[in-house]
Chains A and B, each alone.
Chain A
C-alpha cells in the first residue's frame, strides 16, 4: 500500500487588518451607493454589496477565531441575500410597471 502523502497546501495568510479594511471599504461603497444613487435598481445592488461586506467579515472572524460558526453564518446570509434579491427585484419590476420610473426622488411621497 502506498500511502499517498497528503498534499500540503501552503496556506496563504491574509492579515486580519487587511480583511477588516476590505470589509469596511466594501460596506462604505454600499452605503455610499444607497445614499447617492437615484435608481432603485442600483440601490438594491448597493444593499447587496453591504450584505456581502458583512459576510466577508463573518468569514474573516471565523478564520481568526478558528471557529466555523462564522462560515455557517455566511451561508445564512447568502440565502437571505438571494431571497431578498428575488423579492426586491420583483417589487422593482412592479414599481416600474406602475410608475414608469425608478427615480427614488420622484417616487418619494413623504412630504405630500
Chain B
C-alpha cells in the first residue's frame, strides 16, 4: 500500500481522541449542552476508530512491508541548528504500544460508560480520558524526544486531573498533588537528560541519537560496570524520568495514593498504559542504554528492589485497589529487571500481558466496588463467589495470570524474563525475581480467597451493567490467551539478544512450581483464618505495620524532605530577599509623604513658593 495511506492512517490514530477531547472540553465553554448519549458515542467512538486504525496498521506492517515506517507532518520548532519536527515513527515496538493503548483504552472507555453512568461530571471525565489517550499515543509514536516529552507531560497532566477527578474530597486533591509533584521530580531529571543529549549529539531524533551515540561512545573493553562516562549520565537522567513515571523506587509512593481516582482510570492510566511509559522509554532508547553497562545495572537494580518492596507491601494491604497498585509497581519492577538484563522484547511482552490482566483485575475490582456500594476493604466483602459469578471468574483469571500460573498469559511473559535473567547469568536477580513471584502468587490469591470465599458480611446491591460485562469478558479472554509474543518484537531486538540457552528441566519445573506452591500456601493460610485476624503486639506487629505503610517511604520523605522544608519556610517566613524590596517600597513611600506636603492644593502656598524661588534666584543673579 502506498506511503500516503499509511501516513494518514498513522496521523488519525492520535488525532481522533484529541479531537473528541477538544470537542468535549470546549462544548461547555460555548454553552452547548451535549446529551449524555452524544458524549458516550463521541468518546467511545473515537477510541474505537483509533483502535480500528491501529488494527489496519498492524495488518499493513505484518504484510511484510518495511519493519519500520516514519512520517513527518511538519516543522514544530526550527531555530538555527535546532530543529524539531512533528513526526511519527512506527515500528513493531510502537505498534504493540498503540495496539495496547487503543485496544485496552477502548474496552476501558466502554466500561466507563456503565461505571460512570450516575456521575454528574460525565462529560468532563470522558474529555480527560480522551485527552489522556491522545497524549499517550503521541508519546509512543513520537520520532523525537521532544515530542515524546510533550506526550509524557500530557499524560502526567491527565493523570493529575483524573486522580483528583472527585475534587470535592480534599484527600483526592492531595493524592493528585502528590502524584504530580513526585513524577515532576523524575521529569526534571529527564528534561536535563534531554538537554545533555542534544548538547552532546546535536539532535533529538530518537533513531539518530542511537546511531550518533554508538559512534561517539563506542562500547569496548574499557567500558565496565564501573566506568562512569557521559553516556551513563545521560542514561541515568533519562532513567530518573522513567522511575518517576513508572512508580519505581525511590519515587513509587505516589502510585498507591493515586488510587483515589475512579477505578477505570486506575485501570487505564495507573496499570495498563501511563505507568509503563518508563519501560517504553528505555526500550525505545535501548541502543543508548546498551552503551552503558552501569546504567543497565542501575535499571536492573531499581527493578529488583522495587519488585521486592512492592510485592512485600502488597501482602498486608486491606484496600483492594491498593493491593493492585502495589502489584502494578512490582510487575513494572519485573519489566525494569528484564530491561536491565537486555531482554527488551521480554519486558515489552510482559508490559503487554500485564496491560491485559491488570486492566482486567482493576475493572473487576471496579465492578466489585460498584456493586458493593463503594466498599474498598476486602475484609468487608467476602463470600461473593455465588452472588457475582461473572466477576468472580474474571477476577480468578486475572489473579491466575498475575500469579503466572501455567498457560496463562502472564506465565509466558514472566517465564521469559526469568529465563533471560539466567541467560545473562544474573543469578542474584533471578533469586529476587523468584521470591517476588512467590509473593505475587500469594497476595493475589489471598485477595481472591478473601473477597470471594471469605466471611460474608455485606450484600451486593446491584449487578454490573452490560457495558461493563463486555469489556470484562474480552479482557478475560485476552488475559487467558494473550500470551503470544508478537513476532515483530523479537525481530526488532534480535541483534541485542543472545540465543536462548536451554535450561535444565529442573529449573523450569521449579519456576512453574513456585507460584503453585504459593497458591497452595495461600489457601492453607486462608483456611487457618490468618488473613484479617488481629496480630499480637510485638515484632510481628511492627513488621506488619512497616509493610502496611509500604516500607515507610512516606514517613521517611515526611521526615527528610517535607518537614525540614516546612521548618525552613517557617524560619524564613519573612523572606530575607524580600527585605531589599521592602526597603525600596518604604523609601519611596517616605519620599511620597514628604513631597505630598507641598501638593496641598492651596494656591497661596504655590504662590509663596514661586515668590520665594524668584526672590532667591534674583538675589543670586544680582549678587553674583
Contact = CB atoms under 8 A, between A and B. Distances in A.
B603 A110 contact: yes
Contacts of B600: 111
Contacts, number: 22
Question: What is the size category of the interface that chain A forms with chain B?
Answer: 10 to 19
A31 interface: yes
B613 to A, nearest CB: 13
A105 to B, nearest CB: 6
Question: What is the size category of the interface that chain B forms with chain A?
Answer: under 10
Interface string B582-603: 0000000000000000011111
B603 A104 contact: yes
Interface in A77-112: 104-105, 108, 110-112
A36 B601 CA distance: 16
A110 B604 contact: no
A108 B603 CA distance: 8
Contacts of B604: 34-36, 104-105
Contacts of B599: 111
B607 interface: yes
Contact of B602 (A31, A36, A108): A108
Contacts of B602: 105, 108, 110
Contacts of B611: 31, 35
Nearest to B604: A35
B608 interface: yes
Contacts of B607: 34-35
A35 B608 CA distance: 6
Given A31-B611, A35-B608, A35-B611, A111 B603 contact: no
Interface string A24-58: 00000001001110000000000000000000000
B601 A110 contact: yes
Nearest to A105: B602
A36 B50 CA distance: 90
A62 to B, nearest CB: 23
A104 B603 CA distance: 8
Contacts of A110: 601-603
A35 B602 CA distance: 11
A82 to B, nearest CB: 24
A111 B603 CA distance: 10
Contacts of A112: 601
A35 B549 CA distance: 84
B599 to A, nearest CB: 7
A109 B608 CA distance: 18
A111 B611 CA distance: 21
A111 B608 contact: no
A36 to B, nearest CB: 8
A105 B604 CA distance: 8
B466 to A, nearest CB: 76
B233 to A, nearest CB: 67
A31 B609 CA distance: 12
Nearest to B601: A111
Interface centre among B599, B600, B603 (most CB of A within 10 A): B603
Interface in B561-617: 599-604, 607-608, 611
Interface centre among B601, B602, B604, B608 (most CB of A within 10 A): B604
Contacts of B601: 108, 110-112
A111 to B, nearest CB: 3
A94 to B, nearest CB: 19
A24 to B, nearest CB: 11
Contacts of B603: 104, 108, 110
A30 B601 CA distance: 22
Interface string B552-565: 00000000000000
Nearest to A107: B603
B557 to A, nearest CB: 60
A36 B611 CA distance: 12
Interface centre among A34, A36, A112 (most CB of B within 10 A): A34
A36 B603 CA distance: 11
A24 B599 CA distance: 30
Nearest to A38: B604
Nearest to B599: A111
A89 to B, nearest CB: 19
A43 B601 CA distance: 18
Nearest to B614: A31
Contacts of A31: 611
B463 to A, nearest CB: 77
Contacts of B608: 35
A110 B606 CA distance: 11
Interface in B469-516: none
A91 to B, nearest CB: 15
The 7 A-B residue pairs with the shortest CB-CB distance, nearest first, are: A111-B601, A110-B601, A35-B608, A35-B607, A35-B604, A108-B601, A31-B611
14 contacts: A34-B604, A34-B607, A35-B607, A35-B608, A35-B611, A104-B603, A104-B604, A108-B601, A108-B602, A110-B601, A111-B599, A111-B600, A111-B601, A112-B601
Given A34-B607, A35-B604, A105-B602, 12 more contacts: A31-B611, A34-B604, A35-B608, A35-B611, A104-B603, A104-B604, A105-B604, A110-B602, A110-B603, A111-B599, A111-B600, A111-B601
